[in-house]
Amino acid sequence: MGHQSMEQTQARLFINGKWAEPAAGGSSFPSLDPATGALVGTFAEAGPADVDAAVDAARCALADPAWVGITAAERARLLWRVADLIEAHAGELAELETRDQGQPLGVARDVSVAGAAEHFRYYAGWCTKIEGAVAPVSFPNTLHYTRREPVGVCALITPWNFPLMIATWKIAPALACGNTVIVKPAEQTPATTVRLVELIERAGIPAGVVNLLTGGPDVGRALVEHPGVDKVSFTGSTAVGKEIVRGSAANLKRVTLELGGKAPSIIAADADIDAAVAGNLQGGLLNSGQVCAAYTRFYVDRRRVDEFTEKLANAASGLRLGNGLDPETQLGPLVTAEHLAKVDGCVRRAVEEGAELVTGGTRADGDGSLARGNFFRPTVLAGVRDEMSIARDEVFGPVLPVLAYDDPEELAARANDTEYGLAAAVWTKDLATAHRLAADIRAGAVFVNMLPIPDSGAPWGGFGASGWGREMGKYALDVFTEVKGVWMHLG
Ligand code: NAD
């Protein structure tokens, strides 16, 4: 087993159904608790030989009767069993996610772990419903039908913001479609993915079908360039997404990319301001703003902008920062000290460019109690203009920039003046305003009077530099299968 105790994980690689040290001889890396700096665990660093071994194992499993020979109903039962095991270990997984990633325990339990179990259940249901179709070809005496076949060996590369949940967004549909996978979690937060793979092993998924390689960007790169990998499903930054497109070109891998975002949130003059403040506070600050779909630029009708800003700043400055394991905590730390420095730099630059700092803008040490963690005060910036970097670049932190608008006609163009297009929000009581903006904003999801939440049943993904393809719903079946047409002459 890779996992030894809740206190400190000592994890190995999982290749072809066995937990193993890296072939090159036991190189490892630590993962730290972002709230305290304490060691969460030590994880094996995979090398090139391990990447080859994992790809070989996944290729062999594609031809293994223990996987390809089972019925769709049996595959469904395996996935359902994984969901049951996630639920049976919910408390332990949530605590581990909080220690490794920093998110408040309630978020780890109700979003990350609950979402992970739900995703396996949802795709368990799809296993028996992946259908082909009969195409009405115009050749005489000819039957044409389609088969949806697995793409093959899939490299699943995940980020550090919701490590457990995002791993399941990829593993569950990949397995439902009959693929085999190699999972590569982010080096900052590998702990819950290791635990998930242990549960997958216990559920009885055959050896070689799910392999785990922990390590840094080099492991991801080696998978992306490997000729034995058929598909890469990646969630992470737009810069790395572009590298993946280049790196995967040699054998024209199938590539799905869920990348960065800069979601606009529009607060119309007729909006319920208190509801908008509460919703945008959560929509902007969930997981300390380390959410790809987080609301990150607020366009408020100029007649309401002062009221909105004041209420938002009051609410933000009243949030309780702390260790996510403390049940009173509303806002946890940022994932690493390096990321904290990046967020701090973004806020400084905004102020240099002329934004007004209304609240926050500094590191928080809680009179010393938080000094060893990566805590940043929730920050509200007023007087932000479209050309400022804070209104254009992804910050991925607890930073809420407020902009004003005068004419609703300008809104869609301003919201769309970005390379990204993942999510957007509209706060209004007017149906025409809501539907018009929902149609005109270029984003993969538009939320009206609500938080930017994903659901297994609805498509998730972005326009433009926010990525390629869609996860979730029946859309994930398209990206994890190849369509084959079978032609039969009936003469
Ligand atoms: P990142 O791109 O730095 O790293 C993501 C993963 O890619 C890690 O596992 C990393 O080791 C690996 N990696 C790094 N360089 C690589 C390379 N050259 N080739 C292959 N793999 C490589 O992202 P991050 O900082 O961990 O995560 C934050 C980013 O993820 C943000 O931009 C955020 O918007 C995005 N994100 C998007 C979604 C979405 O659904 N669209 C969800 C969550 C996070």
365-424 pLDDT, tens digit each: 888 889 999 999 999 999 999 999 999 999 999 999 999 999 999 999 999 999 999 999
Cα(161) to ligand 1 centroid in Å equals: 9
Which atom in ligand 1 lies closest to the alpha carbon of residue 261? 34
Taking the C-alpha atoms of residue 383 and residue 223, their distance in angstroms, rounded to an integer, is 45
Output the DSSP codes for 382-430: ES--TTSGGGTS---SSEEEEEEES-GGGHHHHHT-SS--SEEEEE-S-
In angstroms, the CA 332 to CA 121 distance is 29
Structure tokens at 453: 């939440």
d(CA 381, CA 398): 11
Q: How far apart are CA 204 and CA 154, in angstroms?
A: 20
Coil, helix or strand at residue 37: coil
- Residues of the chain under the 70 pLDDT cut: 1-7
Q: How far apart are CA 215 and CA 225, in angstroms?
A: 16
Phi, psi for 33 (deg, rounded to 5): -75, 120
CB distance 477 to 176 below 8 Å: yes
- What span, in angstroms and rounded, lies between the C-alpha atoms of 279 and 286? 10
Ligand 1 pocket test: which of 31, 51, 157, 219 has the largest number of ligand atoms within 8 Å of its C-beta?
A: 157
Ligand 1, atom 40: nearest CA belongs to which residue?
258
Ligand 1 center–CA 454 separation, angstroms: 18
Rg over alpha carbons for the chain, rounded to the nearest Å, is: 23
Rounded distance, CA 262 to CA 260, Å?
Answer: 7
- Picking from 223, 185, 206, the residue whose alpha carbon sits closest to that of residue 51 is 223
Surface-to-core class of residue 26, CB atoms within 10 Å of its CB (0-12 exposed, 13-18 middle, 19+ buried): exposed
Taking a C-beta distance cutoff of 8 angstroms, is the pair 456, 176 a contact?
Answer: no
According to DSSP, the residues that pair with 423 across neighbouring strands are: 445
Which of 184, 212, 240, 242 should be mutated for ligand 1, with most atoms under 8 A from CB? 240
Cβ neighbours for 242, distance < 8 A, ≥ 6 positions apart: none
Atom 26 (ligand 1) nearest CA: 159
461 CB burial (10 A radius; 0-12, 13-18, 19+):
buried
CA 131–ligand 1 middle distance (angstroms):
33
Q: Which two tokens stand for residue 302?
A: 């100029």
Known catalytic residue at 292:
yes
What pLDDT does residue 4 have? 40
pLDDT score for 7:
62
Nearest atom in ligand 1 to the alpha carbon of residue 187 is 11
Tokens (6 digits) for 299: 């366009």
What residue ranges line ligand 1, CB within 6 angstroms? 157-161, 166, 184, 186-187, 216-217, 220-221, 224, 235-237, 240, 243-244, 258-261, 292, 394, 396, 422, 462, 467
DSSP state of 333: -
177 included as an active-site residue: no
What sign for the dihedral angle of Cα 309, 311, 314, 317?
A: negative
CA distance 448 to 265: 9
Cβ-count burial 104-114 (b if 16+ within 10 Å, e if not): bbebbbebbbb
How many angstroms does the Cα of residue 195 sit away from the middle of ligand 1? 20
- The answer to whether the beta carbons of residues 418 and 438 sit under 8 Å apart is no
Whole-number Å distance, alpha carbon 313 to ligand 1 midpoint, is: 30
CB 442 within 8 A of CB 463: yes
